[in-house]
Amino acid sequence: MTIYHYNQLNESEQLDALEQMGVLIGEREGTFYHLTLYQLEGFYVELCYHTHFNTLININAFSNTDCLDPYLQNMDIEALILA
């Protein structure tokens, strides 16, 4: 699946694709939002949930690795360095 094809799917189909083929690679918390990052084939998908209402606010698919920076700050890579 390409990012173009993914973006053509409706919200329910996008979530199904993440459940079936996506790999959870990160999470982070904002003041009012919980963000979850998945890798899906050759691109990434970020889900944004409102923490108070526990509702999905946004689905953002991207391939630009610069968008991964907020997640990299929270990842513990010490085990990779010591290996």
Identify the pLDDT of residue 55: 96
For residue 23, the Cα-to-chain-centroid distance in whole angstroms is: 9
Q: If 0-12 CB within 10 Å is exposed, 13-18 middle and 19+ buried, where does residue 22 land? A: buried
Task: Kindly list the domain boundaries of the chain, sorted by start residue.
Answer: 3-82
pLDDT in tens, the chain (83 residues): 999 999 999 999 999 999 999 999 999 998 899 999 999 999 999 999 999 998 999 999 999 988 888 877 766 656 556 65
- The CA dihedral of 56, 70, 27, 21, to the nearest 10 degrees, is 80
pLDDT at 27: 92
Domain boundaries 3-82, CATH class: alpha beta
Task: Give pLDDT, residue 13.
Answer: 98
The pLDDT of residue 76 is: 63
